[in-house]
Structure 1
Amino acid sequence: MVRRRFGEAALALAGAVLVFGLAACTAQPPVATTPPPSPGARPTPTAAPPPTLAPNLSATENLAFFDHVNQGVIAADANAGGRAFIDALVVAGFDKAAMQVSRDETTIGEPADSVQFAVAFQGECLVGQYGPKSGGYHGAVRPALGTGGCLIGQTRPIDW
């Protein structure tokens, strides 16, 4: 009988150890390390200010602004042509007399695969290209040509 009670006691003790051991393995809720913000104290995201024209800096330092202006044209009109880009760049402060733009149509009257436009700036060229066959918008700084211009080939007169 003592043996039986000893066995029952050992079995009960083993069961208790197992129950407490398993209880220790269950997931506990995470402890909050910082108090939650109050409903009226939401952090507001701060957007970076848009780039601006810096006429005394290099073309490379103004490329972000050039791109910003041109992407705004595209956002306003996905089918924008050369005149829209030139007009926006003039409004943004670039010198119209220093600009060149390709034609919106081919010599046989078909829509051009893309339009190129450029601004001669501080001895270099800010060049943009946009159209369905060019994979969207691209902007770059390129060396000025020996002619002082930026685009090769016949360009459209900017006479408006």
Structure 2
Amino acid sequence: MARRNGTTGALALAAAALTLGLSGCTLFGGGDPSPSAAPSATGTATPTPTAPPTFRPELSASENLAFFNSVNNAVVAANAEAGGRDFIDALVAAGFDKAAMEVTADRTTVDLDADSVQFAVLFQDECLVGQYGPKSGGVHGAVRPVLGTGDCLVGETRPIDW
């Protein structure tokens, strides 16, 4: 009878191993997949390309900030030494109203290069404000409220007479 218990135990162990083996194939993607099984995705998902921002004059300043920033980043990409006129000209070419713009001087009162240049567009009763300077970490844009003076920039700005 001892032999029979040993055989029965061996058969039970073999059955358990076979069951686990087949379960493992199913759980871990092995075995023969059925035609209705969906293929599994591997690797990382490919990002969906997004359209570049566009100028939407009927929308708010906040909704046009991405476009404002893209224009200004393109200026710097084309010329790392860009000055105020470069930004104003690019913003005009992009569709912003030149008469609604302000820009600070590229040079200080003692005729040194300014650490940064600020430029702004009064747009939909708000200000799209940009700043660029090699020491300031690149181009920065923001939407700010119009000042009590009706301007966007504090202090003296230079005439945009070109």
Residues matched between the structures, number: 148
Q: Structure 2 CA distance, aligned partners of 1:20 and 1:113?
A: 79
Q: Structure 2 CA distance, aligned partners of 1:62 and 1:96?
A: 16
Question: Which residue matches 2:151?
Answer: 149
Give ranges in structure 1 of 5+ residues lacking alignment: 1-5, 37-43
1:60 alignment partner AA: S
Cα deviation, residue 46, structure 1: 4.8
Alignment of 1:14-29 (within 5 A): 14-26=9-21, 27-28=24-25, 29=28
Matched, 1:11 2:6: yes
Aligned residue for 1:54, secondary structure, equals: coil
Alignment of 1:50-61 (within 5 A): 50-61=52-63
Q: Structure 2 CA distance, aligned partners of 1:21 and 1:78?
A: 71
Cα deviation, residue 14, structure 1: 1.2
Alignment of 1:8-157 (within 5 A): 8-26=3-21, 27-28=24-25, 29-30=28-29, 31=33, 33-34=37-38, 46-157=48-159
CA RMSD of aligned residues (A): 2.7
Give ranges in structure 2 of 5+ residues lacking alignment: 41-45
Deviation track 1:91-133 (CA, whole Å, cap 9, x = no partner) reads: 1011112111122333344443322110112222111122344
Look at both structures and tell me which one has the larger radius of gyration over its CA atoms. 1
Structure 1 residues 65, 14: CA separation in 2 closer, same or farther (over 3 Å shift)?
same
Aligned residue for 2:77, secondary structure, equals: helix
Cα deviation, residue 152, structure 1: 0.9
Give aligned-pair identity as a percent: 59
Q: Structure 1 CA distance, aligned partners of 2:117 and 2:58?
A: 28
Q: Normalising by structure 1, what TM-score? A: 0.74
2:20 alignment partner AA: C
Aligned residue for 2:131, secondary structure, equals: strand
Aligned residue for 1:144, secondary structure, equals: coil
Q: Normalising by structure 2, what TM-score? A: 0.73
